[in-house]
Structure 1
Amino acid sequence: MESNQRAPKKLIIRPLRREPKLPQEFYQESWTHLARALDQVFSPSSRRPLSYEEHYRRVEDLCLHHLAKQLYADLQREVDGYLERVFREQLSDPVLAAMLHVAQGSAQAVEPTERPAFAPVLDVWRAFCERFRDIQAIFLYLDRTYAAESPQVPSLWEMALELFAKHMLAEQQRVLLPTLGAVLLEIELDRKGKQRGDCSDLRAILREMFAPLGFYRTHFEPLFFQQTRAFYVAKGTEFVTQGTLSDYLAYFEHSTQAEAERCRLHLEPSTEKPLFAILHDVLGRHCVSVMMDRGLESLLDAVSLTDLRRLYVLLRSIDELWRLVPRYSDYIRVRGTQIVNDRARDHEMIERLLALLDRAEQTEREAFQADVRFHNAAQTAFEAALNTRQPTPAERLARSFHDLLRVSSTSIPEPDIRRKIGKLLELFRYLSGKDSFLAFYKKYLAQRLLFDLTASTACEQYVVELLRAECGAVYVNHLVNMLKDMDLSQDLLQEYRMGPGSGSSRLPSFTCKVITQAYWNSSESFLLQVPPGLESQQRSFHRFYHARFSGRRLIWEPSLSSAELRVQFANGEKVLHVTLSQAVVLLLFNERDAWTLAELQQQTGIADSAELERILDSLSSSQCPVLIRERGAEAASSGPVTAPARYRFNADLQTSRRRLRLLDIALLERPPEQVPSGPVASPDRQHQIDAAIVRLLKKQKSLSHADLVQQLGAELCFGPSVSDVKQRVESLLQREYIGRDERDPNLYHYVS
């Protein structure tokens, strides 16, 4: 059977006999269409809708047929020609001349206009960018193939920037220099608060035009920095010659904020650091020292926190806080020293020091941002100021504690008392003579406890606990025992009153405080003839005490005693709180209305005329004249008496108060107790000097007397005098803790 299937045909591909060629008119015809499209792009008035896809295909065909190089060159020529026409027509010489005239003119003479002087250049740039976006869309294939694949060929946008920059720089920067001048003028107007037009134009020309063209770093920044330096040099000179520190700080803060805002809105981020370097150098470092000399003290006096905060930020920004720290310390030291040495206002010393301390703390916290350097400097300055006139600050501080803790402060809530105690304790920490303070504090504490003047036992305990925390248990040992004596005396008095020998109801009410002499300040005692009723009470308590305690000696102290008297005046009965000596004097006026000084001295048994005069002065003071002095002259046994000769009871005393505290007046009239006020204020200081001498000699083995005195000043927190050192050296030599050199009597050795 014959097969119907045939063998498959073989496909043969033969090369063309003739290689295909592009028509000779292909490129010229394609370029003619593209040139026509460019004309439509460059001429907005005759612009018709473009067929981007058609032109894109033409560009693609030209590139595929290896005509990209010629196409790129023709496009570059067309763009260059367009820019040449635009610069010649829109940026003509009259336009540039007007721009240059404005740029070279004074900023004050420029009238506000709607747009800045560089607006024509910015308009040309914006129009060019808008048209070139269309060109990029048409020639996109050329840009992505030929330009991208050829390292030596710039992209279309880079080519456009080079051409635009060339025309800006043409003819010795014919266009660029007026443009830069106009831009710098606009910045100067902005600095002077006279900026014209829309601020977005300034941002556009700097960031969107100068930065891409490369003019920002090469041409704009050098001129901008030069202008900035000149501007702030002039402002700095103006402030140095006639400005105030407050205005200067406000202007610096405003300038800093304005320049930061200008960098954020208009300039490149890289400009901020060198710009602020110029601002800090010219307006900061070259001016701040002179301005601080002119007004720093007034700012600190007024606690101008805003200005001080500005000053702190300024100095921190230029890394020169070292200028302010010592000046702040000197200010605290000088003001504190003035307060301490103002003898006319000693009674206000502590309040003024506390006010200065509060101002310093507020300044450090709110103006100096709690910088520890200022706190440490203030502490050193306070310590130096507070110890310039010892022991007066220690005495005034102890007196402030006394005024706060006495009965007169009972209207103050206890939390407020504790808060004020804390403030006083801050000053106590700066005292170098804490032993002097302790001596005065013991004296005032004794007054409060013995005369029932303390407002709160809890507050008294609170102060002792604070002092214990600051100085240790040994420091407050006497204070603790004084408070303990009061507690024991209260228990002892209750036991006495429950006993059979406490006296009858017809005798005056009797209260007794038994204190341990070793813990209390010794007082200058004097003889006093007490009334019979009170004398019998004393004998009764004396018998009770010796029956209760054997081997103890009981000494009565009239100078530390007080009494309450009910006195009938013309306007009613009054209760007088007086010292025992005042009470004895007043009770004599029950017998008759007037007494002479000599008679009172004989009746009371007070041998010291000066003491009796002080008692009578307190009773006849203008604050509460219970007695009236009648002028006269009388000769006493000890000589002429210049005080009033007679004292008469003032039955017509006019006062609305029912209770009168003559005791307070008596304590003020009494001369201060002889609390040691020299360099050695207590035996504790003697022990400190002894220990320091032995410690120095043990360490160095031998020391001359002059070296010993010098080193003791640095070793001790207080400055011992030469006589005190000599006295303690002699004591140590006698006790053989140290020895004197056999050849040189001024050389001491440690005795091991």
Structure 2
Amino acid sequence: MGQESKFIEFDQGWADMQKGISKLKRLLAGEAETPFSTREYMTLYTTIYNMCIQKGPYDHSEQLYNKYKETLEEYITSTVLPSLEEKHDKFMLKELVQRWLNHKLMVKWLVRFFHYLDRYFINRRSLPALNVVGLNCFRVLVYEEMHAKVKDAVLVLIDEEREGEQIDRTLLKNSVAIFVDMGMGEMNRYQNDFEVYLLQGTTSYYSRKAAKWIGEDTCPDYLLKSEECLKKEADRVYNYLHLTSETKLIEKVQHELLVVHITQLLENDHSGIKMDVLCRIYLLYNKISQGLKLVANVFKQHVTAEGTALVQQADAAASNQASNAPSGHEQVFIPKITELHDKYMTYLNSCFQGHSQFQQALKGAFEVICNKTVNGSPGAEILASFADHVLRKGGSEKLGDDDIEERLEKIVKLLDYLIDKDVFAEFYRKKLARRLLFDRITNDDHERSILSKLKLQCGALFTSKMEGMVTDVVLAKENQASFQEYLRNNPDVHPGFDFTATVLTTGFWPSYKSLDIILPTELVKCVEVFKGFYEKKTKHRKLTWIHSLGTCHINGKFEPKQIELIVSIYQASVLLLFNESGRLSYSEILSQLNLTHEDTTRLLHSLSCAKYKILNKEPSSKSISQSDTFEFNPKFTDKLRRIKVPLPPVDDKKKIVEDVGKDRVYAIDAAVVRIMKSRKVIPHQQLISETVEQLSRTFKPDIKAIKKRIEDLITRDYMERDPDQPTMFRYLA
């Protein structure tokens, strides 16, 4: 026989292999065929082995490698593709899944038959492994041809399931797995050929659903539906999609259902904002990137709108009242604002778990609300007026101590939202002065309580003048007791009637207009007696008399009856002139008292044209003219035996704002000098920003004003510009 008989011709060997491959095809087709026995397998394996180890032209390794690929391509072309082309939709998917399963089995068996190629030939030539070639055949011939149809069929089934229909989830899972398998270890096929369309379809589907639901559902119902959809999409991923799709898919659903319609959702008129709804909103949006920021912005807009509506209501109510009557709008407006604040603080803590973004949103909303004007009055003035109403004797609506303390606490909370806290301080100080000087204090403890609260929130500098005022009044009472003791010990210097004087420290109290009036003799004597007492007590202080704050009790002897008149010092000065003259002209009164036309007109109006006509005026009218004459009205009477004759109110709002403006100049100067003293050398921009930061606790400084004060401090040699670097400042000790 010789050695040549051992060589196997290619056609002969391949014919033997074809028998085995044909049997494999019958097995895969489900035909009646016995499985491969170990002997059959070894025979086929040995055939390939022998065909590969032959030398020279009888080494058929390369031909077998090519035949392996041709075998798979022929099987796909003749059997797999025709079976797929005649089926559609889910039937096509079932066929594809089965064909892919068969193909993997076929490759598995062929790889075992051709195993010797993998071990030696492929390694030496650096060729793709048999398994890779096998899978690639399916990808090139089947997948590339069918993946668009497969994708469409899968998406149709997913949408059917979203609409509540029962579908074959196992089929879907196996169909989707093909996209993953075709990536050969990479996710690019799944992502580019399927996932991108899945996400587009998801966006379109939930966009339509959201547009429909937002128009017909209440907020709670909409949220429940959204929650259910998100849960089902996560379940969908778990059951048949790849896990890498979960985050992207959920984000699409969240965006279409929750992000796009957030404003409509939270402003939904069907339900309004309720605690349970807000809690659900917080939990849902907390899972969305930047979701809480979106909710916080809408929350801020909602609170701002509600607060602004209260401002507009108060503004309208105040405007509708008589212009000469005090509106008292703060007595209604501030409680409504505090009630609004309490409501949303509850939401903040209960629904939003005190989250910092919602704290900032609430702060931003109330900064807008509290800094609005009502009937021309800034928020700072309104808040100060309300505080005055709570603390003033007779103005606290018979509230208990605990209720008053609660209101004071809320006032201080609202103060935190005011930008111009210094304006509040000045209005508050003005009203505190009137309470202290005219004995309108309800309770000293409440006065000290609010000052301690203000001090804690705004700093000691904020309340230093106010605390000085309270202390001043205590010392003034002690001083008055000393004066009474002085009068008892010196009966020859008695002023002639009961007289009290309150001595205050100029720096603590608001500034008051002081007229250079010529006082009647009776009042001059009082002033001189007290001056004599005070100069003996101290020689280092000068007394300045503020007659505009003084009050006189005068006995008016009228024909019907005697009435005690409570008037100002200026009104008293006018009335006392009529003890000497029965009839006086406007010009005589003007010259005898040394007053301006404006003040004279105001005083005479209060005594002859207003509620109490203590003086008769000729000619009779409701306004004062410089040609008028006046005489005592002996027939004046009133049902009361004591009446207070009011002066027309003076709007000192403009002066308060001017005083605040002056104080701000000093505050800016002080802040700049403090910073310069600490830093020694500092760039211009840093100096500006640090100055703004220091002052922002009290007011929002104007950058131009800071620059102007810096220039002034340079001219006054507190600081200088660096000659080499004009944007650098140096402190001059």
Counterpart of 1:690 in structure 2 is: 673
Q: For residue 602 of structure 2, what is the amino acid of its counterpart?
A: R
- In structure 2, relative to structure 1, the CA distance for the partners of 1:675 and 1:593 (3 Å cut) is farther
Could you tell me how far apart the structure 2 residues matched to 1:422 and 1:677 are?
25
Deviations 1:235-277 (A, max 9, x none): 863652684597144332267479989x99xx99989x99999
C-alpha contact (below 8 Å) 2:214/2:222 kept by paired residues: no
Cα distance in structure 1, aligned partners of 2:402 and 2:627: 48
- The answer as to whether partners of 1:280 and 1:318 remain within 8 angstroms in 2 is no
* 1:290 Cα deviation from its structure 2 partner: 3.7
Distance 1:709 1:606, change over 3 A: same
Question: Does the 8 A contact of 1:391 with 1:436 survive in 2?
Answer: no
Which residue of 396, 416, 419 maps to 2:403? 416
Q: Is residue 726 of structure 2 the alignment partner of residue 726 of structure 1?
A: no
Return the letter of the residue paired with 1:739.
Answer: E
Do the aligned partners of residues 494 and 569 (structure 1) sit closer, same or farther apart at CA in structure 2, a change above 3 Å counting? Answer: same
Residue 291 of structure 1 pairs with residue 291 of structure 2: no
* Alignment partner, residue 312 of structure 1: 282
Q: Is the 8 A contact 2:384 2:427 kept in 1?
A: yes
- Matched AA of 2:664: A
Task: Write the distance in 1 (CA, Å) between the matches of 2:451 and 2:609.
Answer: 35
How far is 1:326 from its partner? 2.8
> Residues 703-751 of structure 1, C-alpha deviation per residue, up to 9 Å, x if partnerless?
45x786577546642323425532343324433x322355787764445
Q: Which moved more, 1:648-657 or 1:477-486?
A: 648-657
User: What is the rounded CA distance, in whole Å, between the counterparts of 1:300 and 1:434 in structure 2?
Assistant: 40
Cα deviation 1:492-541 (Å, max 9, x = unaligned): 22232244247899954322211122322232211334444443333332
CA–CA distance in structure 1, aligned partners of residues 215 and 517 of structure 2: 69
User: Contact conserved, 2:371 with 2:379, CA < 8 A, in 1?
Assistant: yes
**1:464 maps to 2:451:** yes
1:396 aligns with 2:379: no
Could you tell which deviates more after superposition, 677-686 or 647-656?
Answer: 647-656
Question: Structure 1 462/619 Cα, relative in aligned 2: closer, same or farther at 3 Å?
Answer: farther
Q: Which residue of 1 aligns with 2:352?
A: 368
**Paired AA for residue 734 in structure 1:** R
Aligned-residue CA RMSD (Å): 5.6
Q: Is the 8 A contact 1:489 1:513 kept in 2?
A: yes
Does the Cα contact within 8 Å between 2:562 and 2:641 map onto a contact in 1?
yes
Q: Which amino acid aligns with 1:440?
A: F
How far apart in 2 are the matches of 1:590 and 1:513?
28
Q: Contact 1:563/1:579 (CA < 8 Å) preserved in 2?
A: yes
User: What's 2:428 paired with?
Assistant: 441
What's the counterpart of residue 719 of structure 2?
A: 738
- Gap change, CA 1:334 and 1:592, over 3 Å in 2: farther
Q: Residues 673 and 387 from structure 1, CA distance in 2 versus in 1: closer, same or farther, beyond 3 angstroms?
A: closer
- Answer with 449-458 or 677-686: which moved more: 677-686
Post-superposition Cα deviations, 1:606-657, rounded to whole Å, max 9, x if no partner, equal 42221233334555686x44568968699xxxxx975794667788989877
Q: TM-score, normalised by structure 2?
A: 0.58
Say if 2:596 is the partner of 1:611.
Answer: no
Tell me the residue number matched to 1:240: 211
1:361 alignment partner AA: M
* CA offsets 1:581-602 (integer angstroms, 9 cap, x no match): 2333345567788765434324
- Write out aligned runs for 1:286-685 (5 A): 286-294=256-264, 296=266, 304-318=274-288, 320-332=291-303, 348=330, 350=334, 353-383=337-367, 386=370, 392-410=378-396, 411-498=398-485, 499-500=487-488, 501=490, 507-565=496-554, 576-587=565-576, 596-603=585-592, 605-618=593-606, 624-626=611-613, 645=628, 661-662=644-645, 666=649, 672-673=655-656, 675-678=658-661, 681=664, 683-685=666-668
Comparing 681-690 with 326-335, greater Cα deviation is found at: 326-335
1:252 to 208, 223, 232: 223
Q: Provide closer, same or farther for how the CA distance between residues 375 and 217 of structure 1 changes in structure 2, counting only shifts above 3 A.
A: same
CA deviations 1:384-432 (Å, max 9, x no partner) are: 6656889943333333322322223253333222211111111222344
Would you say the 8 A contact 2:372–2:378 is kept in 1? no
User: Unaligned stretches of 5+ in structure 2?
Assistant: 1-155, 176-196, 320-328
Q: Summarize the Cα distance change of 1:545–1:295 in structure 2 as closer, same or farther, 3 Å threshold.
A: same
Taking the aligned partners of 2:608 and 2:672, their CA distance within structure 1 comes to 47
CA pair 585-749 structure 1, distance change in 2 beyond 3 A: same
Confirm or deny: 8 A CA contact 1:245 1:294 kept in the other structure: no
- Partner Cα separation in structure 1 for residue 633 and residue 164 of structure 2: 84
Deviation of the 1:361 alpha carbon: 1.5
Measured in 2, the distance between the counterparts of 1:299 and 1:328 equals 15
SS in 2 for 1:563: strand
- State the distance in 1 between where 2:711 and 2:668 align: 14
What's the TM-score once normalised by structure 1's chain length?
0.57
Describe the shift of the 1:567–1:365 C-alpha distance in structure 2 as closer, same or farther (beyond 3 A): farther
Deviation at residue 563 of structure 1 after TM alignment: 3.0
Q: How many residues align?
A: 537
Distance in structure 2 (CA, Å) of the matches to 1:391 and 1:302: 32
For residues 496 and 305 of structure 1, the distance between their equivalents in structure 2, rounded to whole angstroms, comes to: 64
578-587 or 519-528, larger mean C-alpha shift: 578-587
C-alpha separation in 1, matches of 2:694 and 2:257:
43
Give the aligned partner of residue 50 of structure 2. Answer: none
Unpaired segments of 5 or more residues in structure 1? 1-180, 191-201, 220-225, 635-639
Asked whether the 8 Å contact 1:693–1:712 carries over to 2, the reply is no
Q: Is contact 1:571-1:654 (8 Å) kept?
A: yes
Counterpart Cα distance in 1 of 2:283 and 2:560: 68
